[in-house]
Amino acid sequence: MRERINIDGVSVSPDHFIGGKRVSSPETFETRCPFEWERKLADVSLGDAGIARQAVQAATDAFPAWAALSPKERAVYLHRLADLIEANRDALGLVECLDMAMLLESLQLRVISRAALNFRNYADLAIEYQERVWSSKGTKNRVIRMPAGPALIITPWNAPFMLSTWKCAPALAAGNTVILKPADWSPLSACLLGDLIAEADFPAGVFNIVQGGAELGNALTSDPDIKRISFTGSIPTARVIGRNAAENIVPFTAELGGKSALLVFEDADIDAAAKKAAGQYDDSGQVCMAGSRLIVQESVKARFLERFHAYTDQHVLGDSRKSETTVSAMIHPIHVERVLGFIDRARASGDEIVRGGKRWKEGANWVEPTLIVPKGNESEVVQNEVFGPVLTFQTFTDEAEGVALANSTVYGLSGIIYTGDAERAERVGRQVRGGTVWVNTFLVRDLTAPFGGIGVSGLGREGGHYALDFHSDLKTLQILEGSC
């Protein structure tokens, strides 16, 4: 077991958490602070196929006893963990800020508390579940949820703690044991989660956490003892996981990002729409649901752009720990170069760079908030997810054209509509292709609602009872009436 690391006063173990104990690997990988890239935070244990098997075996061994508990009995552990997350909110937020660069104020005031709510919400939903009971053809019927088995949760590097808890909570509440694999660019808040699991006194092997890259991921997703896989990340990785899951006939959900439209009609509150559009630069655009395609009715183009630029000018790039910062650093130099590559190709192909378009400081992990007017809807920067502080701007003349542009990519995660017409809100809201569509707002989430994507944006739905159903095997029990 490796020595714990002190990160700005917070003690963090760099090891895996398997079977209720810390387990180290001979090899490590480093994680650095995105906004102080010269600062190495930790050398983290690098999992391999052997670590994968150890974690799956621990989850398999722990499954029968955990599955045998009632939802109320499992809820005791989940609520206890939620309490500990709240009690350690500042430490969790600080470590995630340093490791991923999300704004510290946002983490400590909202995001970490949402992670605690994830455990409370799913614990209570599992208790509240009402079995469907009905009579048919002389039989009495019931639909029963049965725990499925060890569940593998693979999460991305953006908002890692909140997304990890969002996925792990329903698996645990449904009676499954869990192996969590966080992204190797931001693993440290998950390392802290292992300490809280131990403090919450979870039975050994119920909740396991392993860190690593492709070797670890491939070994986990191809292990026949895994009974559910929930993944958020890239399309190429999802294809690999999907093939492994198919080999073992394992149910698999995937949330794969988007290229969402922010559609603004002339009858909208233009100031509110422009402010929300400028807000899409939050977290340097590293948000899967971001409305990165601004599609504005031609008649209000000038008014919208005037307000949009005014709001964008108010953004402050800098240290994510400082309250005045509004745009955080990007996660990694490799990702910065990827985003700059999109901008360079857009410029070379004739797209107009209206603002931004370059690195904020030499050698730093920020790209200036960028707005591009593409020469056509087929432009790469319109059709492919950039996942950075890059927005495109297009106009339309009538509703049909606006909807057509909104639906003109292979993605379908979400959409944002601004209009003052209630009938249009309902009509266009139904037409825009996306798993979630907001009207005159953004990122308002009800945890009981289904969440997922259409097209290449994903497979399956999570959230509320949809997630609990995914993590269960559903059984119909039929008893001949009057026979016993």
Beta bridge partners of 396: 297
Mean pLDDT for the stretch of residues 149-170: 97
Contact residues for 122 (Cβ-Cβ < 8 A; gap 6+): 78, 169, 170, 172, 173, 467, 468
Residue 335 has pLDDT above 90, yes or no: yes
Report residue 140's pLDDT band, with 50, 70 and 90 as the boundaries: very high
- How large a percentage of the chain has pLDDT more than 90? 98
String of b and e for 309-328 (b: at least 16 CB within 10 Å)? eebbeebebbbbbeeebbbb
Claim to verify: residue 396 and residue 295 sit in the same structural domain: yes
- In Å, how far are 58, 64, 248, 250 from 225, measured between CA atoms? 11, 13, 9, 10
Beta bridge partners of 22: 17
CATH number at 101 reads 3.40.605.10
**Which ranges constitute the DSSP H helices of 129-181?**
160-173
253-308, pLDDT tens digit by residue? 999 989 999 999 999 999 999 999 999 999 999 999 999 999 999 999 999 999 99
Mean pLDDT for the stretch of residues 27-31: 98
Claim to verify: residue 160 and residue 137 sit in the same structural domain: yes
C-alpha 30/C-alpha 41 separation (Å) is 7
255 carries an active-site annotation: yes
96, 97, 288, 462: the catalytic one is 288
Report yes or no on 241 lying in a domain. Answer: yes
Q: What pLDDT does 1 receive?
A: 82
CA nearest neighbour of 406 among 389, 429, 426: 429
Claim to verify: residue 55 and residue 182 sit in the same structural domain: yes
Report residue 484's pLDDT band, with 50, 70 and 90 as the boundaries: confident
Chain-wide mean pLDDT for the chain? 97
CB 6 within 8 A of CB 303: no
Mean pLDDT for the stretch of residues 382-395: 98
**Ramachandran area for residue 278 (φ above 0: left; ψ -120 to 50: alpha; else beta):** alpha
Query: E strand or H helix at 229, and its extent?
Result: strand 228-232
CATH number at 342 reads 3.40.309.10
Tokens of 381: 């920067």
Q: In what order do the strands lie in the sheet with 472-480?
A: 133-136, 139-147, 472-480
Query: E strand or H helix at 90, and its extent?
Result: helix 89-100
12-23, pLDDT tens digit by residue? 999 999 999 999
Claim to verify: residue 242 and residue 338 sit in the same structural domain: no
Residue 363 has pLDDT above 90, yes or no: no
Claim to verify: residue 47 and residue 93 sit in the same structural domain: yes
Contact residues for 386 (Cβ-Cβ < 8 A; gap 6+): 285, 292, 339, 342
Q: What pLDDT does 226 receive?
A: 98
288 carries an active-site annotation: yes
Claim to verify: residue 374 and residue 472 sit in the same structural domain: no
C-alpha 310/C-alpha 40 separation (Å) is 37
Residue 360 has pLDDT above 90, yes or no: yes
Q: What pLDDT does 480 receive?
A: 96
C-alpha 136/C-alpha 287 separation (Å) is 48
CB 464 within 8 A of CB 125: yes
CB 18 within 8 A of CB 55: yes
97, 168, 191, 255: the catalytic one is 255
For residue 439, the SS3 value is strand
Q: What pLDDT does 192 receive?
A: 98
Report yes or no on 483 lying in a domain. Answer: no
* Chain-centroid distance, C-alpha 467: 14
Claim to verify: residue 226 and residue 121 sit in the same structural domain: yes
The residue segments making up the domain with residue 388 are 261-439
Angle between helices 112-128 and 160-173 (to 10 degrees): 10
Mean pLDDT for the stretch of residues 75-93: 98
Claim to verify: residue 180 and residue 312 sit in the same structural domain: no
Q: Per the structure, how many domains does the chain have?
A: 2
Residue 362 has pLDDT above 90, yes or no: no
Indicate the DSSP class of residue 451. B
Contact residues for 95 (Cβ-Cβ < 8 A; gap 6+): 7, 8, 10, 12, 188, 189, 192
CA nearest neighbour of 78 among 112, 127, 111: 127
Report residue 184's pLDDT band, with 50, 70 and 90 as the boundaries: very high
Report yes or no on 482 lying in a domain. Answer: no
